[in-house]
Chains A and B, each alone.
Chain A
């Protein structure tokens, strides 16, 4: 069985109450097309904050 992030949760351990991403969310993190779009979006958001701070 493929190991999923939620398999790392230990019942009543440190990480029992956290959320973990599903396979789709994990895949999208390195999906080049989606990430290219996020690259544009993040750059715009960062430029706004940088301009606001200068």
Chain B
């Protein structure tokens, strides 16, 4: 009997574990180690953050789902990986610390034959003074990165709405809280959802909204922007983004590294080296992401974390980490199998793998401050990677350690994204986009790097309906309800 241990029960890990359990059956073990008792459909946290959904609508208990799937579930967080075992045994294992009520802090070793690291991001609020610290979100801003954060954000938003009703003007600042952030899409959704809610509440005329981000142009989204085939033109996402911000009367500051947050004030440095500050009554600034801080230890007890993980804490996989400067970047730098180059029975998928480099062109201010979006790994690619890695592991367990690995490079994969711009059955809108491939391939698609036949976008009510249907479909799939395997990642 072989044992697969999956670290992280989010989008990527949950996909990997549930498919692996289905394919392996009861002859082998699938173990999930994840610190939360509940699964969270993170994209809908945006609607929790404006009071349009409750926490209960975007989360569900993991234990019954894993029991149904025959998955062994440890509510715990992984601390370290011992890929060579220890001095008394060659069997690799992970060290985990329980987060389950009544067992909090209990340390356990879990042996594995194969390991999938899908631990997602550490929300690195501590990277920007005032944004938060090692314990999480600070007191001056809100976040929508977790369901609990989003509930808090919604309460703060309601307080602002009450003040506006009483005649007090409010300023909203939304965007990225550091020069090296990703996930601009989530902040984009949040600012437009706030705008929509303020309209609904009849207080839009009392609000000033401002976007602040590390993108070098509006609509970069960490993927170097995208050109879309529209009315016979290849149109940049910059044009669409600027148009939407203008239409909804949202001002913007871009190329900004937020370097300090205080009560009601964010300080920033711009790509041209100038410093500025922006006041706010309400701010949601996405933190930069880092790896969750797993350690790797050799058989002799030596710290080999730098062998297994990149300096940002994400796990090294089959990517080209020596591509050098932007001019040398190629689509082929991006990993295909997500296998760790040193320990072949370890894989990393979703946000947990170390990308070879950003997708957007790296930039820095004359003061040397890097101000570049880091590459997003959104839901669809994260799900696909999880499934592909599970396929590889299952093949190796079922057909031998030489079974070929499955591939899913972000340079050969598209993504469908639906960015909400306001919720409402007849008043909602969302930008529905597809991008192919996610990582531009300028050799194959000269000029834009993307295939314009498969890269498009438009905003409207239809996009909102799709977003709402996807909310229910993905929760259905994650709960392993009938037909779950038919719903694509």
Contacts and interface: CB of A to CB of B under 8 A. Distances in A.
B415 interface: yes
A39 to B, nearest CB: 4
A46 B489 CA distance: 12
Nearest to B250: A8
A31 B462 CA distance: 10
Contacts of B436: 49, 52-53
Interface residues of A, number: 30
A53 B384 contact: yes
A8 B247 contact: yes
Of residues B249, B416, B459, which shows the largest number of chain A Cβ atoms within 10 Å of its Cβ?
B416
B456 A45 contact: yes
B460 A38 contact: yes
A20 B488 CA distance: 35
Contact of B462 (A15, A42, A50, A53): A42
Contact of B246 (A9, A38, A52): A9
B242 A42 contact: no
A53 B245 contact: no
A52 B460 CA distance: 25
Of residues B251, B429, B460, which shows the largest number of chain A Cβ atoms within 10 Å of its Cβ?
B460
Chain B interface size band reads 35 or more
Nearest to A37: B462
A28 B460 contact: yes
A40 to B, nearest CB: 8
Interface string B84-120: 0000000000000000000000000000000000000
B413 interface: yes
B461 interface: yes
Interface in B441-489: 454, 456, 458-463, 465-466, 488-489
Contacts, number: 88
B488 A21 contact: no
Of residues A14, A31, A42, A53, which shows the largest number of chain B Cβ atoms within 10 Å of its Cβ?
A53
A49 B242 contact: no
Which applies to chain A's interface (DSSP): helix, strand, loop or mixed?
A: helix
B414 to A, nearest CB: 4
A33 B154 CA distance: 33
A27 to B, nearest CB: 11
B426 A38 contact: no
B429 A29 contact: yes
Interface in A1-54: 5, 8-9, 14-15, 17-21, 26, 28-32, 35-36, 38-39, 42-43, 45-46, 48-50, 52-54
B124 interface: no
B458 A53 contact: no
Given A15-B246, A19-B239, A45-B434, A53 B461 contact: no
A8 B466 contact: no
Contact of A52 (B429, B454, B456, B461): B454
Contacts of B413: 53
A33 to B, nearest CB: 11
Contact of B460 (A15, A20, A29, A54): A29
B463 A49 contact: no
Nearest to B428: A30
Contacts of A52: 414, 436, 454
A18 B242 contact: yes
Nearest to A16: B246
A54 B488 CA distance: 9
Contacts of A29: 429, 459-461
Contacts of A53: 380, 384, 412-415, 436
A22 to B, nearest CB: 11
Interface string B415-428: 11000000000110
Nearest to A13: B251
Interface of A: 5, 8-9, 14-15, 17-21, 26, 28-32, 35-36, 38-39, 42-43, 45-46, 48-50, 52-54
20 contacts: A8-B246, A14-B252, A15-B245, A18-B239, A20-B243, A29-B460, A30-B460, A31-B461, A36-B462, A38-B460, A42-B432, A45-B434, A45-B454, A46-B416, A46-B434, A49-B415, A50-B488, A52-B414, A53-B414, A54-B489
